[in-house]
Structure 1
Amino acid sequence: MVHYIIVITLLALGLSPHCLSSKTVGGGYLYPQFYGHSCPKAQEIVRNVVAKAVAKEPRMAASLLRLHFHDCFVKGCDASILLDSSGSIISEKRSNPNRNSARGFEVIDEIKAVMEKECPHTVSCADIMALAARDSTVLTGGPSWEVPLGRRDARGASLSGSNNNIPAPNNTFQTILTKFKLQGLGIVDLVALSGSHTIGNARCTSFRQRLYNQSGNGQPDNTLDQSYASQLRRNCPRSGGDQNLFFLDFVSPIKFDNSYFKNLLANKGLLNSDQVLFTKNGESRELVKTYAYNQELFFLQFAKSMIKMGNISPLTGYRGEIRQNCRKINA
């Protein structure tokens, strides 16, 4: 029933329902019912473990959502981010975007342990991450969508890909957009997916330059509301306090809503990569305004863009493997 509602909604928006499933590069399809027979309780298992983790620590929802994003932007959605260093593998966990900040690995481990008991060697770590990202969004008040499934897990990682492909907080608008376009995602996807910053935290080190030296001239960022900037300086000094945490959306930090976009209208985006969506490009500026005034439209586009992102170069068929332990390739 839910599937039909989404399809009808997509058609009403002039979108193709085929964004719910996609043919992948190596043949084979991703589709929501992939585990219907082989592991009917798969989605329920993910939902239960994620719900428990988020109830214990609300911040975990944003961490699991981010994990899926940081995985898909490197070699596709193949769970390469979960691999620890061993043998010839250098873990993506060591990259600049992930070091000291990527988290939620233990939650994925817990889901995988339950899954292996219920249906051994069946559900991939990549699919677990895609489902956990959706469930994290729903649990915090955001939209739901049917997750196309059938991904398999990579047998390798890419440290350089992780360092180069993932947009950084201090990148220019054009650099961020280019990184999205290289993954087959456009400006609409960029703005909608940035809306995931309605939940979660960022470290002082990721926006300090905006407070003290935005352009190398010793001056703060003039696109940052000054009263907000002075609040931020209290816990983000010129030096030290690198790991101090700040809400990405100070208005409703653990609720998935559209206040992130309202903050951008008020020049109160935390990261440079947030505020440039409003200040550096006319098209993205209009999208920010649209989502700030219409939460329903934001939710619809976020779901569509998450499905699209989850379709980046998945391994299907006989490519890759179904890892038994998400942290290491099968023996």
Structure 2
Amino acid sequence: MKMVSSFNKMHILLCLLLATLTTGAQGQTRIGFYDTTCPTFQTIVQTTVQSAFRSNPAVAAGLLRMFFHDCFVLGCDASVLLSGPSTERTAPPNLSLVGFEVIDAAKLQIETACPGVVSCADILALAARDAVVLAGGIGWRVPTGRRDGLVSQASNTVNLPAFNDPISVQISKFTFNSLLNCVILCSPGGHTIGTAACAVFSYRLYNFSGTNQPDPDINPVFLPQLRRLCPNGGNGSTRVALDTGSVNRFDTSYFVNVRNGRGVLESDAKLMSNPTTRTLVQRFSGAVGGPALRFTNEFAISMVKLGNTELKTGSQGEIRRVCSAIN
């Protein structure tokens, strides 16, 4: 983890304490839920994610995206992990999700140590946090006690933010889920790590809105670079860094790129078209008001908020024995 000043260390602690006090005890979740029933839970998740990250650093972005896609649909209940016909995993936005094997590996070890105790939803929440830390972000205390959902339908993914959503639609979708603060933090901010397939943005490079011209929001200096990576008529599955020059590092350069017209996705570029989101991009990138705001601190607070979305606790749902199937 990066070294920070004493002032910033205090700021981080205050931010995370605020997050815990304001959103850390929703329903029946709490810090240390498994302290007596499965004390090795967090260590198992952490070592499993570390092992996967050493083999492939891109798994960090995959786990973070999976957690977001889970929480945004029916709440943080591991519904995205269920496999089968017409489940969330089969929906177009989720076909490119990666990291399922990491959750399965952690679950297998936890079931050996503490059978029938720890939910898949909590494993995913911890894995996303550990992935961010490994990529260079700061950690946060994760309230646990979630239960696993019994419903997973592809049709429920319709409100997931899309790569071509205008900013008004993005705001509407997050507001619907009571996650307005996540418009800039949880989803686009998470693009500081990870990649996107050429197929989801190459239309911006050659024929934007049927004009046979590139998207005018793309920096003309950046355009040739993207065209080399995604030639017209080329392989749409080729993947390109969402944060050019910093694909696996959790930092604020993503906001610098968006500010400078180097956002890869249309939805990222559109953050500059709204006064509120534009101001936040500028502040996180350090363009306004002196040094960049501590994006990682704010991101941690938002992730605690996201992780408490529409929880199933108590007697709701179940504790799955296998994360990909209902008991």
TM-score (norm 2): 0.92
Give the alignment's Cα RMSD to 1 decimal: 1.8
1:197 and 1:76 map into 2 onto residues whose CA distance is: 21
Q: For 1:1-331, what aligned pairs fall within 5 Å after superposition?
A: 9-10=14-15, 15=18, 17-24=20-27, 29-85=28-84, 90-99=86-95, 101-162=96-157, 164-186=158-180, 188-193=181-186, 194-278=188-272, 280-293=273-286, 294-295=291-292, 297-330=294-327
Task: Determine if contact 1:6/1:145 at 8 Å carries over to the other structure.
Answer: no
Task: Determine if contact 1:126/1:153 at 8 Å carries over to the other structure.
Answer: yes
Q: Which moved more, 1:290-299 or 1:188-197?
A: 290-299
Task: Determine if contact 2:20/2:141 at 8 Å carries over to the other structure.
Answer: no
- Please tell me the residue identity of whatever aligns with 1:270: V
Q: Give 1:143 shift.
A: 1.4
- Please tell me the residue identity of whatever aligns with 1:322: I
1:135 and 1:73 map into 2 onto residues whose CA distance is: 20
SS in structure 2 at match of 1:202 = strand
- Please tell me the residue identity of whatever aligns with 2:182: D
Deviations 1:7-56 (A, max 9, x none): 951399xx5642341323xxxx2112111111111111100000000110
Aligned length: 314
Q: Give 1:275 shift.
A: 1.2
Task: Determine if contact 1:235/1:241 at 8 Å carries over to the other structure.
Answer: no
Task: Determine if contact 2:19/2:304 at 8 Å carries over to the other structure.
Answer: no
1:208 and 1:32 map into 2 onto residues whose CA distance is: 44
Q: Give 1:5 shift.
A: 6.4
2:12 and 2:136 map into 1 onto residues whose CA distance is: 21
SS in structure 1 at match of 2:211 = coil
SS in structure 2 at match of 1:97 = helix
- Please tell me the residue identity of whatever aligns with 2:247: P
1:201 and 1:159 map into 2 onto residues whose CA distance is: 23
Give the unaligned 5+ runs of structure 2: 1-8
TM-score (norm 1): 0.91
Consecutive aligned runs of 4 or more in structure 1 exceeding 3 Å deviation: 4-8
2:132 and 2:19 map into 1 onto residues whose CA distance is: 23
1:16 and 1:104 map into 2 onto residues whose CA distance is: 27
* Shift in CA distance, 305/143, structure 1 to aligned 2, threshold 3 Å: same
- Please tell me the residue identity of whatever aligns with 2:238: N
- Please tell me the residue identity of whatever aligns with 1:69: F
SS in structure 1 at match of 2:196 = strand
Task: Determine if contact 2:19/2:305 at 8 Å carries over to the other structure.
Answer: no
2:160 and 2:19 map into 1 onto residues whose CA distance is: 28
- Please tell me the residue identity of whatever aligns with 1:135: D
1:254 and 1:233 map into 2 onto residues whose CA distance is: 22
Q: Give 1:74 shift.
A: 0.6
- Please tell me the residue identity of whatever aligns with 1:110: A
2:162 and 2:45 map into 1 onto residues whose CA distance is: 29
Deviations 1:204-231 (A, max 9, x none): 0111121112222222110101221111
Q: Which moved more, 1:56-65 or 1:289-298?
A: 289-298
Task: Determine if contact 1:62/1:199 at 8 Å carries over to the other structure.
Answer: yes
2:284 and 2:30 map into 1 onto residues whose CA distance is: 28
Task: Determine if contact 2:243/2:254 at 8 Å carries over to the other structure.
Answer: yes
